[in-house]
Amino acid sequence: MSDGLEGVVAADTVLSEVDGHAGRLVIRGHSLDDLAGRATFEAVTHLLWDGFFDDLPRDLAPALGAARAEVFAEVAALDTGLLDRTPIEGMRALTARLADGDDLNTALRLAAAASVFTAAVVRAQAGEAPVAPDMALSHAADTLRMLRGKAAAPAEVAALDTYLVTVSDHGLNASTFAARVIASTLAGLGSAVLGGISALKGPLHGGAPGPVIDMLDAIGRPENARAWIEDALDHGERLMGFGHRVYRVRDPRADALKKAVKRLTDGSNIMPGRLAFAEAVEAAALAILRERKPNRPLDTNVEFYTALLLEALAYPPSAFTCVFATGRVVGWLAHAREQVVGGRLIRPASRYIGPMPLEAA
């Protein structure tokens, strides 16, 4: 048996390939480099969903806009109990209110939900009223507008669009596997997405970027990096934003997002000096990880520069995982449909290693 199912192939997919040795991500025949910063989130959603839904419109922007407007009604169900929870728990609870199903409209509503509910939860936690969607905007533009209550600058919209595309799909990661297992029981797309959100929120998966900010803030200055990192590792902690189950080299998404942070912040007054500081911390972390784990290549993963980018877009770190879900939800939905259309019930076996009942003498 492979611990943590490492290296086990559990599905055939046409959706994406993660090459851990080459450091390459392919999404439906396109390398990430060709998509990030070039294709819109709506176009990549079409790419992922093509062939898995009947009557898929060529331009998904109006349909996604209409779905945002439709799910906004559920925001009224946000109560004070939910506001005491983390944003991902609030967003998940509102998503659970949507009707389950297996068709395109269900998928569109689920894809819209993460954007609309995240903005509403973050605003409500800050004591601000929710902002209704604007169907005419792109998903990225409206996602930021609903969060802030005013239009975001084109450079910010472009940065979020790049982020959403970059995290839209990534092979059989833990949340996508969870979504596929649920879809394989024919429970419905809503159930699969709720499973995906639940798996994503853990710090070993999509919950890492908030703690990256905590780490950067605790380090404070580049000259403190080595001592802080050594101390954390001495205490058995893991460095958030480093290491990956599949990549043995740098995660290509880290570079795509670092470029997006650079594009957004260079020559602007957004977070002056922050990127250079993060690069210094990253260099120190990589050097120390290399010294301490010479036999285990540990490199920067997607979450390190996710943290920088979402911080530059003024998201509170507590909501970073919700933004990850806003992009990844379209991948979960594609995988869930691929599973339903071409797969079987996923039901592996376990090996019993407990005691057996005593035989009668």
Q: Which stretch binds ligand ACO (CB under 6 A): 114-122, 180-188, 292-300, 348-356?
A: 292-300
Answer for which of 30, 85, 238, 262 binds ligand ACO (CB under 6 A) is 238
State the minimum distance, in angstroms, from the CB of residue 160 to ligand ACO.
17
Q: Which stretch binds ligand ACO (CB under 6 A): 36-44, 123-131, 213-221, 293-301?
A: 293-301
244 lies in the site for ligand ACO, by CB under 6 A? yes
Indicate the residue among 108 and 285 with the shorter CB distance to ligand ACO.
285
CB count in 10 Å sphere of residue 38: 13
Alpha-carbon span 256 to 248, nearest angstrom:
17
131 and 146 Cβ atoms separated by less than 8 Å: yes
Alpha-carbon span 312 to 278, nearest angstrom:
13
Answer for which of 143, 162, 301, 321 binds ligand ACO (CB under 6 A) is 301
Q: Which stretch binds ligand ACO (CB under 6 A): 101-109, 237-245, 265-273, 337-345?
A: 237-245
Q: Cα separations (Å) of 140 from 42, 64, 146, 170, 323?
A: 9, 11, 10, 20, 11
Q: Which stretch binds ligand ACO (CB under 6 A): 35-43, 82-90, 91-99, 235-243?
A: 235-243
240 lies in the site for ligand ACO, by CB under 6 A? yes
Six token digits for residue 314: 């003024």
Alpha-carbon span 203 to 275, nearest angstrom:
23
239 lies in the site for ligand ACO, by CB under 6 A? yes
243 and 282 Cβ atoms separated by less than 8 Å: no
Environment class of 150 (CB within 10 Å of its CB; exposed 0-12, middle 13-18, buried 19+): exposed
71 and 98 Cβ atoms separated by less than 8 Å: yes
287 lies in the site for ligand ACO, by CB under 6 A? no
State the minimum distance, in angstroms, from the CB of residue 87 to ligand ACO.
17
262 lies in the site for ligand ACO, by CB under 6 A? no
State the minimum distance, in angstroms, from the CB of residue 293 to ligand ACO.
6
Instruction: Specify the amino acid at residue 172.
Output: L
Q: Which of residues 135-174 bind ligand ACO (CB under 6 A)?
A: 173
* Closest residue to ligand ACO in the complex (CB): 243
241 lies in the site for ligand ACO, by CB under 6 A? yes
CA triple 57-62-68, angle to 5 deg: 120
189-200 and 174-184 helices, crossing angle to 10°: 150
149 and 132 Cβ atoms separated by less than 8 Å: no
4 lies in the site for ligand ACO, by CB under 6 A? yes
Environment class of 151 (CB within 10 Å of its CB; exposed 0-12, middle 13-18, buried 19+): middle
Q: How many helices (H) and strands (E) does the chain have?
A: 16, 3
State the minimum distance, in angstroms, from the CB of residue 157 to ligand ACO.
23
- Active-site positions? 244, 303
Indicate the residue among 48 and 172 with the shorter CB distance to ligand ACO.
172
Answer for which of 158, 208, 312, 322 binds ligand ACO (CB under 6 A) is 208
State the minimum distance, in angstroms, from the CB of residue 232 to ligand ACO.
8
205 lies in the site for ligand ACO, by CB under 6 A? yes
Indicate the residue among 148 and 205 with the shorter CB distance to ligand ACO.
205
322 lies in the site for ligand ACO, by CB under 6 A? no
Alpha-carbon span 10 to 336, nearest angstrom:
14
Answer for which of 302, 329, 333, 340 binds ligand ACO (CB under 6 A) is 302
Instruction: Specify the amino acid at residue 64.
Output: L
206 lies in the site for ligand ACO, by CB under 6 A? yes
Indicate the residue among 60 and 329 with the shorter CB distance to ligand ACO.
329
DSSP states of 235-292: TTPPPTTB--SS-SS--HHHHHHHHHHHHHHTTSSSSTTHHHHHHHHHHHHHHHHHHH
40 lies in the site for ligand ACO, by CB under 6 A? no
List residues near ligand ACO by CB under 6 A.
Answer: 4, 173, 203-206, 208, 238-245, 293, 296, 298, 301-303
